[in-house]
Structure 1
């Protein structure tokens, strides 16, 4: 059957037909782009009907809407200008946007910033002569017909110039003129050093003599305090990490007393103060000296001396926080945590990120030294700034360092003399070691019980027996945490809820929190509650609250997320809490207390506008926790819940330190995978929940890690059970098979025979690579074998390439994938998948296809859309978890997928949906692209195998075979099966290391 006939058979119109075609007309306005059609044609596209080009356009627009970059309209979509500018060239072409502007821009500067005649004009060069820049939204018009798409730096520069040109002459004050200079310099920095999707190597505006200026716009006002000779204190405004406070002290007289904004000139550096920051500076300057007799009061309550709405002052940390200091990462700890180069944990970055992480020449020299030492010692990872960087590929590292040095030298040559701008460092809470606990604590919790009978009848959903058990244990431990001094190390402080995925951990947690609220009320000790969770689970928690309780349990619920409630509680103009001027750090690595600043409204000083109102539930992400760790560490939380707590398994990560630094009567860590890589994960989780229970890391390592590393299977199981007993009631761990007798069967189907296991062999799932795929595969193997030096870095690159082409021969790089279903025939795995999909369709059931590669996700959705006549949605790491501007979220997309009657399919990344989501409307899962970590793979599978599933579950593992030797898929499958699992708690699957796989395949000795 030809493509034309196939499309007609599916109810789709081929491109050649004369019939009217539903599609999108693209128009532009100053705000962005509009993609509109008729409501009836839009409905046709949603049902999978229409010509292929329109379907492609609709698919990409839907994906952009899921990511929050586009907003649905009744008759199409709309995009903001900046989101249009961020699109890749391929995405822009598909949705019908003009090509990127191929020319350059030149700025003409008139007069100087102190003059009302100051102005900047930007001319576009494309061809022989420059032309005025005629912008409409995200596009540049040259002449009457030619239109181009602008890059983000160019868009921001043109907008800034246009806004300034609209000012009346009397509005062109020095501060407004300087603001324009700052915005244009910011566009230059974005083009050269911004995020990858925003960079534009061809964009560079020269501002003439203004290029020698450095313009800074401080975000907040803090305090610098110095002792006087008479015992008093001298207080000076601190404008943030990029401003030399000592130099500024001689410049305050430059501020205009009448103006609402101000400009400070320090040599060739301009500091622009917005209205609020200027008010904060004036507030501090009005009270610069604290007399000796008032010093104790000031140090105890600086907020009584200054307006806390304008100046950051108050600081109160918990007992485990030793202070705020420079944060570094230990390679030894990181390597022992089993980090994988291909893991999604955002812990190890490739060498290409080095230019983004190194901000000055001194740091570059230190990194070069660390890299040399790592290479000499045979290590492949070094800590840089707040990240760990893979340095196994020597050539890539050297290239990145050369580029970094060249960039820093250029910046150094254009900056003021040394000393005008200070180096900044990353700071965060520094956690002290926990004291070892006595057996008295274990005895105290051996027979704890809830303070009251749990009123289950008030719940909208009756608990299962295992959930009753969990609720009552958690309620008892939470109530016990209210006893004793909050700072006493041997009180009940927390627990680990490590139940298997799908047993209802969120439900049990919420009911236990209700019981804790009741216990607090009985003691008149109501406090706020914090839940830290992946962004994808925010809607899930809100839904669980509605579905569990008939009425409100908390006084209110706040989502501390951009686009939700974060703006209400962020102190206007406050800078980053986790960045500080290096000179404010002492020799001991600790930040001076007067240099610490907060960015959220917490504490009594903010009254009812504070975040930490008693009785409130605050939902925050792990990213928010790390970014606002100093503010959140000031709050006396009644309970803190860490959902999907494996996010804080690495003791060196900022988010983990932030978690340990929170003050709370009780910390509950919920995770179905208490170990993803090694026993370090488990120790770190328990050290957060109940500090000291397992001793220090060296003590734990000697007692448990070393013996288990050298043990055989039986001995390892014995040690795992012993560790489980050591933890006692501070961890609750159950598995589905033991507690859900009515759960249907789960069958794993593989193309590889697996004797001695429960895996069903299905020969259909193992196919030989088609010739194009085999050729691409062989080319990468031959390229590696032809290298004169087969380093570990080269082997890892080869593994990455083989992983990609084993999915699809065009999955890597700039290779274009086919736009019709013939692309399916080029992949052995996809060809093996098609009979399975046909069987599922014949049964009228639903299936999830797990794929990590985003390039393949998009094309696979189009191919399957055309093959089955169904709109195929994609949920990946870019899909919005929280609604932005009316866009759809993961939860909504999944609900729509499940609501469709009969056969349906959806493509998901296991990285995006591996946690928290319930998708029991589907009972089939195809792992088209497998994860290196079997724990992650199990998390993805268990989205469909959990409470609420009523049909037998089937999981499929398609395999691509090579005709002459064992393929990548075969080797990966063998290694994954060798990893061990103990269901009774502590030992779980280990990650396949890429070097291990390279060795197995003969790429490494």
Structure 2
């Protein structure tokens, strides 16, 4: 039970006034440090009667729990030793923890790693003398009583001490070479962590000398990938890929060094002078790939289309690319699964030679294709690859200067041509299925315009079977919602007619209404009409599926009851296929497997008699009443679940599949998008308030999911729309946007709030000019120092990006780069932005007895701001970010928001725009303060629309505080200008475009 919940049950007692300041948390240290208190102390805290010390302690611990760095208990919090070591100095001071250990660790090595008596002893040195010591969790006590002193270990020092202790606990006679090398690798890893682990982990005072072992380098892979080696018989050989330049041939000679014990916590590989340290997670990934060492020739296509059906995505990275070991060359090329699927198994098997980079000069036929190739090359270099597949060529990119020159020549050639000729790509549209061959939609390039005309004509002619019964809904729809329900209903019902393989059959649509117009309500109402229509036709209603981010499951369940007056509404029942809900429909343990071509029937579907053995979910009539896809049922699930169970879910005959927040399938290359496209449905509805988050590719991907063929293939769309749009400006850009909107026609519904919610209160946007202030001296000095650091190292790799990060942090608060400023008593006044956010903005909001959301992305700032505002205003200040449980918790994002709204009078809540950018309503607040700007204006718009939507009754105010520099145009000024300049095609198709860090760098004179 969370402490907040406990307080509601505790008796309303008061602390003894004679007791003075309320005591702090009681602390007991160990591998898990516990902070405990009493209900009386907490009652005083929430009544505003507690000492400021315990108030600040509680806010720090509660924020750590929000971020997953602590666990709330009945009477306090638990913090692991690792998380205690990672606390910044300000957090540690507030919690009363000792200072960071700044001594030295000395090493004494005995024996060699092949002998069982190998050992490494660590000596703790403080003030030039070795001292006796003992460790308790993250605390190190040095010296003997009564002169002993206690310190808090840094993460590298904790790791080193723990590794030595773990190795020492193994009896001498049982220490294998693997045990010994793991110790060396752990100590190497601790040293690397100290040098490169980031500000929250790095420790410049930590240094270990491992003598002759210093010649080794420890490599710690992230998620395990897969290397694919084409075989002469057409099959594929799979081996684990650990990245970091580790060649699969070298690894193949070392796999035997890993422990055979299935319960082992990890292992280490010795590859030349590299020690590859694998934790349990990576070890499981290696074993998962080794379990499926070969893909038979007849299953290669299925593997490339749906690698998650062969390898567990929870253990192996199958989202984007695999490492292709080129036959005959021994070189590795990073290849996307989508790219390999398009080119086919023959392509990756037949290519045996590398082409000189000069082929790049003539290859691109447009600037858009040039940029795409450049991105592919950059990605290959990031993976330490020296070849990359471009079209039908495997291009040698090992000489980077030569490649850059070829790319520059290609761009100059295209610019001189002044035109972008058509792309020479495959022009047949296909729908991928993870369990069978690709299904031809049936049109080619010459027929593209004719097909689009036929589709628009069919959509224009669609009509509902009968007048829609809006009276059956529990509340009356707004006029724009009536229009939306009727639009969806006629298209959904029209999709019931027509042959499955008719390319002109209506298959789906894009509901792109502005955020806050009620997309979920309209969708549910239209689904209800479709169910009734099927019943009136004498048909059993098909099952329907709604796919969404996990945070929206609770919202959909509430909305169903609100719209229809019962938990199931017009559906026979509603089930949630997520978490524990999945176990209700699983047929066994393990993972789903793909099928071979001889296991398909003449329709390309899996034979009914084979289904039980090939899938893990009970899908199909053979399961009777226990089937997931029972007629008349509505299934709510998440994008990750669809990707994980794509084989099972693709076998169901869904009526309507709804993709809520469909920007989750904006990238056509990732697994979840391919799994979404593989679902069989009469109608697919993509619903999103932001049809374009980053580029027009987002828009194409969502429409290609809903109505394949309407906008052609991606190469066709890129040449016809994206490239001209990127190169256009002014009115020409608007003309193109309107032309694209006309091409989409009735397959998209796009409205904005201002045009349709006449009762919506006014929205006042207070831009940076209205709430801008000069930087205080400390902030100005930190800003100048960041610029000076950049100029001093301008030629170094990553210098520009580092400078941008530093300038952004300094403008938010200089304490983010100087801890003492973050902990100072006047911390709010140390930043122009925080000073303007609190005075006069929040003071005026408090005077009006209203509520505000402060949007901040940086977690350290979220924690600090919560503490400051709690102290200043004496009200609870919650933080909602990516670590806050999305659903299924008494302290989930939705429940925190509802508690915030339920409190009477003035209130403040701090939110990450990324955590609450979709699907959540916070109309209890009517002020939105963007304290930290986002690179993408669409993300900011999503965040603002949490308060500006149906249900809001008070005028909405949006603020953008800015920090000004007296001598130069500051980071804030330039970013604000760029964000506003990126708002394009208003009222047409696109929403604000993202702003690249490169553009900000140029504006600031850093590039």
TM over 0.5: yes
Alpha carbons of 1:194 and 1:737: their partners in 2 closer, same or farther (altered >3 Å)? same
Is 2:864 aligned against 1:859?
A: yes
* Alignment RMSD (CA, Å): 6.3
Match of 1:620 among 629, 635, 638: 638
Match of 1:474 among 488, 512, 526: 488
Q: Which moved more, 1:270-279 or 1:707-716?
A: 270-279
Q: Distance in 2 between matches of 1:933 and 1:250?
A: 47
Matches within 5 A, 1:169-184: none
Alpha carbons of 1:270 and 1:955: their partners in 2 closer, same or farther (altered >3 Å)? closer
Q: Distance in 2 between matches of 1:207 and 1:610?
A: 59
Q: Tell me what 1:503 maps to.
A: 517
Q: Distance in 1 between matches of 2:723 and 2:136?
A: 65
Q: Distance in 1 between matches of 2:220 and 2:611?
A: 30
Is 2:926 aligned against 1:923?
A: yes
Q: 1:354-391: CA deviations, max 9, x gaps?
A: 99x55689999849558955996899xxxxxxxxxxxx
Any stretches of 5+ residues in structure 2 without a counterpart? 1-17, 304-308, 319-336, 349-359, 389-395, 412-436, 595-609, 621-626
Aligned-pair CA distance for 1:498: 0.5
Matched residue of 2:915: which SS?
Answer: helix
Is 2:567 aligned against 1:556?
A: no
Match of 1:730 among 729, 735, 747: 747
How many corresponding residue pairs? 867
Q: Tell me what 2:24 maps to.
A: 23
Matched residue of 1:725: which SS?
Answer: helix
Matches within 5 A, 1:222-237: none
Q: Distance in 2 between matches of 1:444 and 1:96?
A: 70
Alpha carbons of 1:52 and 1:220: their partners in 2 closer, same or farther (altered >3 Å)? closer
Match of 1:880 among 865, 868, 884: 884
Is 2:465 aligned against 1:448?
A: no
Is 2:744 aligned against 1:739?
A: no
Q: Distance in 2 between matches of 1:37 and 1:726?
A: 64
Matches within 5 A, 1:979-998: 979-980=982-983, 984-991=987-994
Aligned-pair CA distance for 1:941: 1.5
Query: Does structure 2 conserve the Cα–Cα contact (< 8 Å) formed by 1:560 and 1:618?
Result: no
Q: Which moved more, 1:257-266 or 1:773-782?
A: 257-266
Q: Tell me what 1:392 maps to.
A: none
Q: 1:826-885: CA deviations, max 9, x gaps?
A: 526624752332222222111122334544444333333232222323334x4424369x
Query: Does structure 1 conserve the Cα–Cα contact (< 8 Å) formed by 2:196 and 2:202?
Result: yes
Q: 1:667-715: CA deviations, max 9, x gaps?
A: 4322212234544443343233323312244544554456656777666
Query: Does structure 1 conserve the Cα–Cα contact (< 8 Å) formed by 2:885 and 2:893?
Result: yes
The normalised TM-score by structure 2 is 0.67
Match of 1:690 among 698, 703, 707: 707
Q: 1:746-768: CA deviations, max 9, x gaps?
A: 2223474xxxxxxxxxxxx4455
Matched residue of 1:29: which SS?
Answer: coil
Aligned-pair CA distance for 1:500: 0.7
Q: Distance in 2 between matches of 1:779 and 1:189?
A: 31
Q: Distance in 2 between matches of 1:218 and 1:800?
A: 24
Alpha carbons of 1:168 and 1:466: their partners in 2 closer, same or farther (altered >3 Å)? farther
Any stretches of 5+ residues in structure 1 without a counterpart? 1-16, 302-306, 340-346, 380-428, 578-601, 753-764
Aligned-pair CA distance for 1:986: 0.9
Q: 1:909-952: CA deviations, max 9, x gaps?
A: 33433322211001122333444443333222211111111222
Aligned-pair CA distance for 1:957: 3.8
Alpha carbons of 1:902 and 1:129: their partners in 2 closer, same or farther (altered >3 Å)? same
Match of 1:844 among 843, 846, 849: 849
Q: Distance in 2 between matches of 1:482 and 1:808?
A: 57
Q: 1:611-667: CA deviations, max 9, x gaps?
A: 997338463357x888x698799766846544333355456x646864676444354
Q: Tell me what 2:909 maps to.
A: 906
Q: Distance in 2 between matches of 1:79 and 1:92?
A: 12
Q: Distance in 1 between matches of 2:401 and 2:173?
A: 55
The normalised TM-score by structure 1 is 0.68
Alpha carbons of 1:174 and 1:933: their partners in 2 closer, same or farther (altered >3 Å)? closer
Query: Does structure 1 conserve the Cα–Cα contact (< 8 Å) formed by 2:301 and 2:341?
Result: no
Alpha carbons of 1:609 and 1:869: their partners in 2 closer, same or farther (altered >3 Å)? same
Structure ranking higher on relative contact order (CA contacts 8 Å, 6+ apart): 1
Q: Tell me what 1:389 maps to.
A: none
Q: 1:302-338: CA deviations, max 9, x gaps?
A: xxxxx9999999x9x9999546899x9x99759979x
Q: Tell me what 2:958 maps to.
A: 955
Aligned-pair CA distance for 1:156: 5.3
Q: 1:198-227: CA deviations, max 9, x gaps?
A: 556736685988997999999999999998
Aligned-pair CA distance for 1:727: 0.7
Alpha carbons of 1:195 and 1:458: their partners in 2 closer, same or farther (altered >3 Å)? farther
Matches within 5 A, 1:48-447: 48-103=48-103, 124-126=124-126, 134-143=134-143, 145-152=148-155, 155=158, 197=200, 202=206, 206=210, 321-322=341-342, 358=383, 366=398, 368-369=400-401, 373=405, 435=444, 437=448, 438=451, 439-447=453-461
Aligned-pair CA distance for 1:569: 11
Alpha carbons of 1:962 and 1:619: their partners in 2 closer, same or farther (altered >3 Å)? same
Q: Distance in 2 between matches of 1:348 and 1:814?
A: 40
Query: Does structure 2 conserve the Cα–Cα contact (< 8 Å) formed by 1:124 and 1:133?
Result: yes
Alpha carbons of 1:465 and 1:98: their partners in 2 closer, same or farther (altered >3 Å)? same
